Amino acid sequence: MLFLLISSAFMIFPFVWMLLSAFKTPADVYNYPPKWIPSSFKFTNFEEVFKKIPFIRFYANSIFVSVVQTVLQIAISAMGAFAFAKLDFPLKNKLFAFMQSSLFVPEIVTIIPLFLLAASAGLIDTYTGLIVPGLNCAFTTLLIMSFFQTIPNELIDAAKVDGCGYFRVFLEIMLPNSKTAIGTASLFAFLTHWRSYMWPLIITNDVKMRTLPIGLKYLVSETGTEYQVLMAASVMAIVPVLIVYMLMEKEFVQSITLTGLKT
pLDDT in tens, 6-28: 888 888 888 888 999 999 988 88
Q: Which tens digit of pLDDT belongs to each residue from 200-247?
A: 999 999 999 999 999 999 998 877 788 899 999 999 999 998 888 888
Q: What ranges do the domains of the chain cover?
A: 43-262
Flag the least confident range among 22-36, 83-97, 113-127.
22-36
Residues 6 or more apart whose Cβ sits within 8 Å of residue 102: 138
* In the predicted structure, residue 38 carries a pLDDT above the cut 70: yes
- Predicted confidence at residue 248, as pLDDT, reads 74
Q: How much is the CA Rg of the chain, to the nearest whole Å?
A: 22
The CATH number given to 43-262 is 1.10.3720.10
- In degrees, to the nearest 5, what angle opens at C-alpha 193 toward C-alphas 187 and 197? 145
The 10s digit of each residue's pLDDT in 115-149 is 999 999 999 999 999 999 878 888 999 999 988 99
Query: What local confidence, expressed as pLDDT, does residue 255 receive?
Result: 59
Q: Select from 182, 150, 140, 148 the least CA-distant residue to 166.
A: 148
- What's the whole-number mean pLDDT along residues 182-194? 91
pLDDT confidence of residue 253:
64
State the pLDDT at residue 263: 45
Residue 249's contacts (CB-CB under 8 Å, 6 or more residues apart) are none
Task: Report residue 260's pLDDT band, with 50, 70 and 90 as the boundaries.
Answer: very low
Could you tell me the pLDDT band of residue 257, with boundaries at 50, 70 and 90?
low
Give the chain's length.
263
Whole-number Å distance between alpha carbons of 33 and 62: 36
Q: How far apart are CA 4 and CA 197, in angstroms?
A: 31
pLDDT of 161 over the 50 cut: yes
Cβ-Cβ contacts under 8 Å for 58 (sequence gap 6 or more) = 210, 211, 212, 214, 215, 216
State pTM to two decimals. Answer: 0.87
